[in-house]
Structure 1
Amino acid sequence: MRLLSWIRKAAPPAPVGGGSAIAGVVREPFAGAWQAGMGVDSRHDLLAFSAVYACVDRIASDISKLGIRYVKQSGNIWQDASAPRFTGPLRRPNPYQNRIQFVKAWQVSKLLAGNAYILLVRDMLRNVAAMYVLDPARVIPLVAPSGAVFYQVAADPLRGLPEQVTIPASEIIHDRGICPWHPLIGVSPIVAAAAAGTMGNRIQQNSRKFFGNMSRPGGILSAPGKISDETANRLKTHWETNYGGENAGRLAVVGDGLKYETVMMTATDAQLVEQLRWAVEDVARCYHVPLYKIGADPTGSKTAANIGALEQSYYTDCLQAPIEELELCLDDGFEVPDGQGFDVDVRGLLRMDPAARYDAHSKAVGGGWMAPNEARAAENMPPVPGGDTPYLQQQNYSLDALAKRDKNPAPSSATLTSTSESKEPANGN
């Protein structure tokens, strides 16, 4: 890959956005917060908070586990189609990732950095031969005076880039989150969850220190009278050495009216559990992930009776938008013709329990709008002879036929008797 020579001749493209937006650094809540020790954690530190990790892993895993089909429009329906030049790169996007790993890395980059940059490597016929998920910290979007978009990518040998290059937008799939400040700079949900994630990390660190001290809070030694600084320092050093850290809980003997008083707020007074629960809920809210999906639902809302409705709500509120964006990005990157495209198979996500599936298949086949072999294929069963045609029971009539029947008067009993007599065979001759 080489730097396009004509880029050097024109005016150099200008970078867009700020460095923090590209590198994924969460800005401080107000000027001077970092110097005062009140800044929020970085993106990498926020990932250490279990709720952030659980939300990112859940969304990325649920999307990456779904199969991706290539479909073609036939009339009013979309049917599976064979197109090796489109489906081949998805089976093995690059030498070190399979499809699931590739899609998961794509979604993780978008969820944590707000931007996912996919480098397309094409052959001589301009067919996509390989795809690489670029490190968002190494990519800077550029805009030329003409309005053309380019991407400056730093050297990355793993992705086949031995030196810094500038790549046109046609060779990069740029999937991004919401863009409140610039259409080329996406913002991750982690920006909105930064305060809650930082608070959750602080709570966990405080608990770690507390339990590391044998669950005994800090305190002060007080004397009834005045003591010199030398005596105070000697008592402090002696107390910390003999009764702090790993020695916490040992028996202490004091005299001269010395008293030990705790000064740390208890977990109950600080509402530690409630604060930690709120932090988890706020992170889940930013990622649109229901609490039961990350094991943090205290009400037990997930039951066997409502699991179908909950999964449908999870798909609609959380996964549908990124799945649709994934499909459109692949269509644009592969330059798919009209009437064709990639389709993420969400049936694996919305799969019902066996009893409900069988009941739905029975109603669909019995209703005449689904063939038996279609129901068998949905359950990964081979087709059977004669099962490609929908069936319907004979007693079903069209409304038009029933209307024509009702135009004639209903036959009376006398008419029925005379009709039956006329149909009896003649006796004798």
Structure 2
Amino acid sequence: MRFFGLTITREKAAPTASPVDTRGGWWGIVREAFTGAWQKSVEVRLDTVLTYSAVFRCVSLISSDIAKMRLRLVQQDADGIWTETSSPSFSPVLRKPNRFQNRIQFITSWVESKLVHGNTYVLKERDSRRVVVALSVLDPTRVKPLVAPDGEVFYQLSRDDLAGVSDLDAAVLVPASEIIHDRWNTLHHPLVGTSPIYACGLAAVQGIRIQTNSAHFFGNGSQPSGILVAPGPVSEENAKRLKAHWEQNFTGQNVGRVAVLGDGLRYEPMAVKASDAQLIEQLKWSAETVCSVFGVPAYKIGVGAPPAYTNIEALDAQYYAQCLQIHIESIELCLDEGLTLPAPYGTEFELDALLRMDTATQIRTYAEGVKGGLMKPDEGRAKLGLPPVTGGNAVYLQQQNYSLAALAKRDAQADPFNPAPAASPPELAPPDATEEVSRFATALRLKFAEAPAHA
């Protein structure tokens, strides 16, 4: 059958290709947090961990910050400078990757899949020219890499209707040339990435359980659980009856009702003090642990005190270097290789949308750049969203500034600071007498020619 311009055969598996080690990848259960955790029903499930606010915010923050940057097609000139360009073969797929996603949604799905599952699989769709015209992010739980004995890599795709992998009664084997595979933290196999949740899942579960216990506490009217104490022995039947009566009438929505106790019964609250539990400190620690694993500064998700806002650009540069840069560079490289861009072309995110200075710093920086001859006035105005002006497409410098070539020529003299006086012009020789007579005769003839004739 024909599938995205490829001839695909239906088969369950290639007999010569074997699946790779999947530890840490794809599956919805992150392995045991400690020995015996499974027997104690302590498992770190991916769908549960994503409900923790710190994990959710780290994933959404990183993906949205990368997706909001414009993806450009650039070309390198003879001077090694990358400038934006366009191409009918490559620009359309960068502007609209597929039929159901725009650029921002596509990049968001790419980064979210990589952060949550450790792997991003993008299926290419080609036209008759073998040019990539569409890119679709696949469900990572439906993709499995296979390696042949000769080292060739294939990907086994299960049904994915949205990506166009449909109407198939068996798995499809696709060569690696038709898949863009972005991965990180390849701890167990070069073809299998590992999500940061593998390292911070237990901290996330701890935070969820702290919040769950708090919700139960406040759901009980901010009253701790307790015990009914009798002065003497109580039969099991009476104990169950008293417990059921108390829970039905004096807990949950009924907290605050007046209870009448007889036969020497008394109620004693039983709970750990907040100071002993260190509730806030534990919540803060679990959130900071998640942030440290994802590489996100804690203040970015509202954990801890924010730093002084004296230099926002420096804070954003730190966030870019320690968290975003590896993902941005990886996406750019994967697209360059996946789209098979020729040598002068490349893809590049526009970092101005992320590393944006405040207005005062912008104006001061661009003014210094124009004054120092580093940029044209129109280039600085374009950075501020202003139109060009007459005479702005030129580099300006003050008159007293000299070029390096002129200074080098001056320093090459024997005494650069006492140059030799300029040579005087040669004296002109006195005119020849013959030339004088000739000029006089010519002037006289012209004079008589101008005089009026007499009758």
- Asked if Structure 1 and Structure 2 have the same fold, meaning a TM-score greater than 0.5 normalized by the shorter chain, the answer is yes
Query: CA offset at residue 379 of structure 1?
Result: 1.6
1:390 aligns with 2:392: no
Q: Of 197, 206, 214, which aligns to 2:204?
A: 197
Query: Superposed, which structure 2 residues align to 1:50-69 within 5 Å?
Result: 50-69=53-72
Cross-structure match for 1:83: 87
| Distance in 2 of aligned mates of 1:63 and 1:255 | 66
Query: CA offset at residue 291 of structure 1?
Result: 1.4
Query: Superposed, which structure 2 residues align to 1:180-195 within 5 Å?
Result: 180-195=187-202
Inter-CA distance 7–148: structure 2 relative to 1 (3 Å threshold): farther
| Distance in 1 of aligned mates of 2:150 and 2:284 | 51
Inter-CA distance 29–308: structure 2 relative to 1 (3 Å threshold): same
The answer as to whether partners of 1:292 and 1:302 remain within 8 angstroms in 2 is no
1:71 aligns with 2:97: no
Matched residue type, 1:395 = Q
Matched residue type, 1:132 = S
Query: Superposed, which structure 2 residues align to 1:96-115 within 5 Å?
Result: 96-115=100-119
Query: CA offset at residue 232 of structure 1?
Result: 1.6
Query: CA offset at residue 406 of structure 1?
Result: 6.7
| Distance in 2 of aligned mates of 1:37 and 1:216 | 28
Cross-structure match for 1:216: 223
Q: Of 400, 406, 416, which aligns to 1:407?
A: 416
The answer as to whether partners of 2:24 and 2:193 remain within 8 angstroms in 1 is no
Query: CA offset at residue 48 of structure 1?
Result: 0.4
Cross-structure match for 2:347: 342
Cross-structure match for 2:300: 293
Query: CA offset at residue 263 of structure 1?
Result: 1.6
Cross-structure match for 2:147: 143
| Distance in 2 of aligned mates of 1:405 and 1:235 | 111
Say what the alpha-carbon RMSD is for the aligned residues. 2.2
1:128 aligns with 2:132: yes
Query: CA offset at residue 9 of structure 1?
Result: 11
Query: CA offset at residue 205 of structure 1?
Result: 0.8
| Distance in 2 of aligned mates of 1:25 and 1:329 | 28
Query: CA offset at residue 410 of structure 1?
Result: 9.8
| Distance in 2 of aligned mates of 1:406 and 1:258 | 111
Q: Which runs of 5+ in 1 are unaligned?
A: 412-429
The answer as to whether partners of 2:24 and 2:188 remain within 8 angstroms in 1 is no
| Distance in 1 of aligned mates of 2:206 and 2:10 | 50
Query: CA offset at residue 153 of structure 1?
Result: 0.7
Query: CA offset at residue 146 of structure 1?
Result: 1.5
SS class of match (1:250): coil
Cα distance per residue 1:183-238 (max 9 Å; x no partner): 00000111111011010110111111111111111111111222222222221111
Cα distance per residue 1:242-272 (max 9 Å; x no partner): 1112212211111232121122213322001
Query: CA offset at residue 3 of structure 1?
Result: 6.3
Cross-structure match for 1:422: none
| Distance in 2 of aligned mates of 1:167 and 1:253 | 74
| Distance in 2 of aligned mates of 1:10 and 1:310 | 51
| Distance in 1 of aligned mates of 2:100 and 2:131 | 20
1:45 aligns with 2:54: no
TM-score using structure 1 length: 0.91
The answer as to whether partners of 2:29 and 2:43 remain within 8 angstroms in 1 is no
| Distance in 2 of aligned mates of 1:352 and 1:48 | 34
Inter-CA distance 278–376: structure 2 relative to 1 (3 Å threshold): same
Query: CA offset at residue 23 of structure 1?
Result: 2.4
Cross-structure match for 1:118: 122
The answer as to whether partners of 2:75 and 2:346 remain within 8 angstroms in 1 is yes
Cross-structure match for 2:38: 34
Cross-structure match for 1:160: 164
Cross-structure match for 1:276: 283
Structure number with greater Rg is 2
Length, aligned pairs only: 409
Query: CA offset at residue 360 of structure 1?
Result: 0.3
Cα distance per residue 1:314-366 (max 9 Å; x no partner): 01111111000000000011001113200111111001001100000000000
Cross-structure match for 2:29: 25
| Distance in 2 of aligned mates of 1:10 and 1:246 | 61
SS class of match (1:220): strand
Cα distance per residue 1:47-90 (max 9 Å; x no partner): 10000010000000000000011111112211112212111012
| Distance in 2 of aligned mates of 1:247 and 1:297 | 37
Inter-CA distance 405–54: structure 2 relative to 1 (3 Å threshold): farther
SS class of match (2:333): helix
| Distance in 2 of aligned mates of 1:24 and 1:245 | 34
Task: Tell which deviates more after alignment, 249-258 or 337-346.
Answer: 249-258
Matched residue type, 2:69 = L
Q: Of 364, 371, 391, which aligns to 2:369?
A: 364
SS class of match (2:188): strand
SS class of match (2:341): coil
Inter-CA distance 234–332: structure 2 relative to 1 (3 Å threshold): same
Cα distance per residue 1:152-207 (max 9 Å; x no partner): 11011111111231111111000011101100000011111101101011011111
Cross-structure match for 1:323: 328
1:310 aligns with 2:323: no
Identical counterparts, % of pairs? 49
Query: CA offset at residue 18 of structure 1?
Result: 2.6
Matched residue type, 1:139 = V
| Distance in 2 of aligned mates of 1:253 and 1:406 | 111
Matched residue type, 2:134 = A
Inter-CA distance 155–3: structure 2 relative to 1 (3 Å threshold): farther
| Distance in 2 of aligned mates of 1:320 and 1:18 | 26
The answer as to whether partners of 1:69 and 1:342 remain within 8 angstroms in 2 is yes
Cα distance per residue 1:285-330 (max 9 Å; x no partner): 00000112111132x3141x12111111001111111000000000
| Distance in 1 of aligned mates of 2:103 and 2:80 | 30
SS class of match (2:233): coil
| Distance in 1 of aligned mates of 2:236 and 2:14 | 72
| Distance in 2 of aligned mates of 1:212 and 1:337 | 63
Inter-CA distance 345–250: structure 2 relative to 1 (3 Å threshold): same
SS class of match (2:82): strand
Inter-CA distance 402–216: structure 2 relative to 1 (3 Å threshold): farther
Q: Which runs of 5+ in 2 are unaligned?
A: 421-455
Q: Of 256, 260, 263, which aligns to 1:253?
A: 260
TM-score using structure 2 length: 0.86
